[in-house]
């Protein structure tokens, strides 16, 4: 891997703080650090709670995308899903309207401050809005125990679920809930058990999932993610981590290089941002996003620049993670 010097990284580093349309993952503002490499702009945006060792993998991905040309694309547009945060049922139509043309919705469930009854009401509202032909998948972010997941799956199965993403936290729990609910024929997808695991292939080797959700940044870049896809031997969906349009471009290039893409991808999340770093966001149009690089607008970089304290925090993090990669 090309390893630019810290001086090269700091020379173009810009830290932004973008407001969200709706609270998501417990935050109202998404922070990110953008860099410009020889191949174009790239993004370093591990969530604030991640330690340096985990965040350094995200920096490796950012360097890979900014300093190395991506693999040749197999497609130039990526079908994407709508993402529905843990909102009230009455808010569902407005959320879906931000994802024009999307035929699939991923619905967040299992939030710590909400009940199963609230999840059911939200999923029912999404099914009504999409109609019988729409696809509804759920994402629990590992928030249920096995028993809780089993109760939830039984309660939600009537809404014709495409799959259930990360219902429980561990590989062992995923294997158990998959076995308990096999007769319902609702596939189990692994996300955190791939991107946050010491061994991203463990979930496939354990037979704990029917498909994998892969993300370029937390897996160390496009090439590393493609290697995992090849070795896992399972169907995959490509997703994002609430990135700016610069980061979404990395995800789109990964999706463009995956040999088979059977699912609408989770790369439409620019629609969850109330502001972006470009006047032409990588947002869904007719249910898809194009595969292209994104160049930030200097005016927007200035407008949404993080304050001095947060900028200093991100630059110090960048320095520490760069030292881990080079060390």
Give the residue numbers marked as catalytic. 108, 215
Q: Angle at CA 295, nearest 5°, toward 289 and 298?
A: 130
Ligand-binding site membership of 191 (annotated): yes
Q: Which of 187, 298, 316, 295 is nearest to 244 (CA)?
A: 295
Which ranges of the chain does DSSP label H, i.e. alpha helix?
6-12, 52-67, 92-97, 116-130, 146-156, 171-180, 192-195, 202-205, 222-232, 245-257, 298-303, 308-326
Give the residue among 70, 75, 96, 71 at the shortest CA–CA distance from 84: 96
d(CA 140, CA 107): 9
**CB burial class (10 A; 0-12, 13-18, 19+) of residue 13?**
middle
The answer to whether 52 is a known ligand-binding residue is no
Tell me the longest C-alpha to C-alpha distance in the chain. 56
119 appears as a binding residue in the annotation:
no
| Cβ atoms of 66 and 35 closer than 8 Å | yes
CA gap 195, 237 in Å, rounded:
13
By C-alpha distance, which of 248, 267, 275, 244 is closest to 20?
275
Contacts of 304 (CB under 8 A, 6+ apart): 16, 17, 18, 275, 277
**What residues are designated binding site?**
139, 165, 191
**What residues are designated binding site for Mg(2+)?**
139, 165, 191
């Amino acid at each position: 891997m090309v390893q630019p010097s810290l001086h090269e990284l700091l020379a173009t580093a810009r830290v932004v703080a973008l407001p969200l349309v709706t609270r998501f993952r417990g935050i109202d503002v998404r922070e990110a650090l953008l860099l410009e490499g020889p191949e174009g702009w790239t993004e370093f945006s591990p969530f604030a709670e991640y330690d340096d060792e985990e965040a350094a993998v995200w920096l490796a991905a950012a360097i890979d995308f900014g300093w190395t040309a991506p693999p040749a694309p197999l497609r130039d547009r990526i079908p994407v899903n709508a993402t529905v945060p843990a909102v009230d049922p009455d808010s569902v139509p407005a959320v879906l309207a931000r994802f024009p043309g999307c035929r699939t919705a991923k619905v967040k469930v299992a939030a710590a401050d909400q009940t199963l009854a609230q999840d059911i009401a939200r999923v029912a509202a999404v099914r009504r809005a999409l109609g019988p032909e729409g696809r509804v998948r759920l994402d629990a972010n590992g928030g249920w125990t096995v028993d809780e997941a089993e109760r939830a799956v039984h309660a939600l199965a009537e809404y014709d679920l495409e799959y259930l993403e990360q219902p429980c936290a561990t590989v062992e729990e995923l294997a158990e809930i998959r076995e308990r609910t096999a007769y319902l024929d609702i596939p189990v997808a692994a996300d955190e058990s791939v991107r946050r695991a010491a061994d991203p292939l463990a979930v496939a080797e354990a037979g704990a999932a029917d498909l994998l959700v892969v993300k370029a940044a937390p897996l160390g870049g496009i090439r590393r993610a493609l290697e995992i896809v090849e070795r896992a031997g399972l169907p995959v969906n490509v997703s994002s981590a609430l990135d700016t349009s610069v980061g979404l471009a990395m995800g789109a290039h990964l999706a463009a290089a995956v040999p088979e893409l059977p699912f609408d991808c989770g790369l439409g999340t620019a629609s969850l941002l109330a502001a972006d770093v470009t006047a032409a966001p990588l947002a869904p149009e007719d249910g898809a996003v194009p595969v292209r690089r994104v160049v930030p607008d200097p005016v927007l970089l200035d407008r949404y620049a993080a304050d001095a304290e947060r900028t200093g925090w991100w630059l110090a993090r960048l320095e520490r993670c760069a030292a881990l990669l080079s060390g």
